[in-house]
Amino acid sequence: MNIEKIMQGLEAKHPGEMEYLQAVREVLSTITEVYNEHPEFEKAKIAERLVEPDRIFTFKVPWVDDKGEVQVNLGYRVQFNNAIGPYKGGIRFHSSVTLSILKFLGFEQIFKNALTTLPMGGAKGGSDFNPRGKSDAEVMRFCQAFMVELWRHIGPETDVPAGDIGVGAREVGYLYGMYRKLARENTGVFTGKGLEFGGSLIRPEATGFGGLYFVKQMLETAGHSLQGKTVAISGFGNVAWGAALKATELGAKVVTISGPDGYVYDENGISGEKIEYMVDLRLSCNDIVQPYAEKYGVPFFAGRRPWEVKVDIALPCATQNELNGNDARQLIANGVLCVGELSNMGCTPEAIDLLLDHKVMYGPGKAVNAGGVATSGLEMTQNAMHISWSAAEVDAKLQQIMSDIHEQCVRYGRQQDGYINYMKGANVAGFLKVAKAMMAQGVL
Ligand code: 2IT
């Protein structure tokens, strides 16, 4: 594989799409070795075919705000690859959303979904709509306007969206409601739905729970345990909440959460009702964590990130590129054991290189946060069977899936010296599954 040639081609066609190019380069550079062992991949131009989405829908989303003013946002759905199953991936509503962001997320989703062992292809969608400060009625009108365009492109066996940043249970409810009305069917085309209309138990917790099951296995494989470990978490949304719950349950102590305004340091541990308070913070739609510091009388560090705190485990749970080279250097200097990405592409390439060079355990988002979409896959199964499983059944399946993902990473990522390069392991395992499916189905 000639990576530079592929990258130059992509840069020329998609100039300035930095996040997308970053995600593609990371995957290609870790799969080169295995790619070159399969001359049939090169002949079939698997890499060149994999890096471009199958198709992208871009649409206008006009809606009326509470003052009666007309607002216009952009909406997208990137259907990246459906070689192993229907397109599957979340919808992100955030002011930072661009095509580059959604293409990187859709690309990552292909490999993540392949790792889950379930039949799901890769996709992502979203809008530059900013939910911050919006009323409930505005969110509803926006979701309905978004779905008026999107509904034609999705379906239970075609493309199954879910939540992501800015899209939680409330938004999924409004989006799904409009889909159901327009399509005149109730087939569960969204995941992350409310329990009353086809949602799965444990789906809200799944990304965080799955992440901690994975981190637990990473630690145990290296002869450590979660018991008594200190954990820095970034973000305060759904993923951070689930991670804090499970980390605490497994005996670790979570000492930070963060928002765009800064981070709070709670040395006594963020547990019990303090974790539930994170939900209030999120529902207030102000996108800040400072009120936590005021409520519980703990320090707040404005404009700073939690990676400067001395901890055993760092879990980025907020957004892409939220842990950079300087943050990694600080964590390493403080003796960090493990960095697990619960956000997608949470670490910059420089941060990853530093962690790998210093033999810090590093779990990439594709593996660590795959429990969310895996449980979405379980929601699809329950909908297709018209049944619902108990929380214990779903949790047991989630644990099994995270364990299978860990095993795949170890299989393809273990180095001669015993160190496990989870990034390489996850990329190679995910890639091989998709590449073999593409080979078997011909040039499409
Ligand atoms: O990044 C992700 O894996 C998600 N936002 C969840 C996607 C899904 O379809 O559940």
For residues 423-441, one letter each, b for 16 or more C-beta atoms within 10 angstroms of the residue's C-beta and e for the rest, the string is bbbbbbbbbbbbbebbbee
Supply φ then ψ for residue 80, to 5 degrees: -85, -50
- Contact call for residues 175 and 91 (beta carbons, < 8 A): yes
371-419 tens-digit pLDDT: 999 999 999 999 999 999 999 999 999 999 999 999 999 999 999 999 9
Residue appearing with tokens 């594709």 = 366
Residue 372 Cα to ligand 1 middle (Å): 6
| Ligand 1 atom with least separation from CA of 164 | 5
71-89 tens-digit pLDDT: 999 999 999 999 999 999 9
In the predicted structure, residue 208 carries a pLDDT above the cut 90: yes
Which residue has better confidence, 282 or 24? 24
Q: What is the pLDDT of residue 17?
A: 98
pTM for the model stands at: 0.98
In the predicted structure, residue 4 carries a pLDDT above the cut 90: yes
Helices (H), 16-158: 18-36, 39-43, 46-50, 99-115, 136-150
User: For the chain, what percentages of helix, strand and coil (3-state, to nearest 5) are there?
Assistant: 50, 15, 30
* Active site members: 124
Q: What is the DSSP string of 358-401?
A: TT-EEE-HHHHTHHHHHHHHHHHHHHHHT----HHHHHHHHHHH
Q: What is the pLDDT of residue 210?
A: 98
In the predicted structure, residue 35 carries a pLDDT above the cut 90: yes
226 within ligand 1 shell (Cβ under 6 A): no
- Contact call for residues 156 and 193 (beta carbons, < 8 A): no
Helices (H), 151-202: 169-183
- Contact call for residues 300 and 284 (beta carbons, < 8 A): no
- What one-character DSSP code corresponds to residue 443? -
Q: What is the pLDDT of residue 285?
A: 83
Length of the chain: 444
How distant is the alpha carbon of residue 251 from its chain centre?
24
- What one-character DSSP code corresponds to residue 185? -
Calculate mean pLDDT across residues 333-343: 98
The single-letter code of the amino acid at 214 is F
CATH number of 206-368: 3.40.50.720
The tokens for 408 are 């795949």
Q: For the chain, give every domain's residue range.
A: 53-185, 206-368
200 within ligand 1 shell (Cβ under 6 A): no
- Contact call for residues 50 and 434 (beta carbons, < 8 A): yes
Task: Give the whole-angstrom CA distance, residue 426 versus residue 108.
Answer: 11
Residue in 217, 163, 214, 166 with CA at minimum distance from that of residue 191? 163
Confidence of residue 132 (pLDDT cuts 50, 70, 90): confident
Question: Which residue from 91, 109, 172 has its CB within 8 A of the most atoms of ligand 1, so it is best to mutate?
Answer: 109
In the predicted structure, residue 156 carries a pLDDT above the cut 90: yes
Question: Which residue from 164, 320, 394 has its CB within 8 A of the most atoms of ligand 1, so it is best to mutate?
Answer: 164
Q: What is the DSSP string of 291-354?
A: HHHHHHT--EEET--GGGS--SEEE--S-TT-B-HHHHHHHHHTT--EEE--STT-B-HHHHHH
One CATH from 2.40.50.200, 3.20.20.140, 3.40.50.10860, 3.30.70.100 for 53-185: 3.40.50.10860
61-70 tens-digit pLDDT: 999 999 999 9
Q: What is the pLDDT of residue 46?
A: 98
276-313 tens-digit pLDDT: 999 999 988 889 999 999 999 999 999 999 999 999 99
Confidence of residue 250 (pLDDT cuts 50, 70, 90): very high
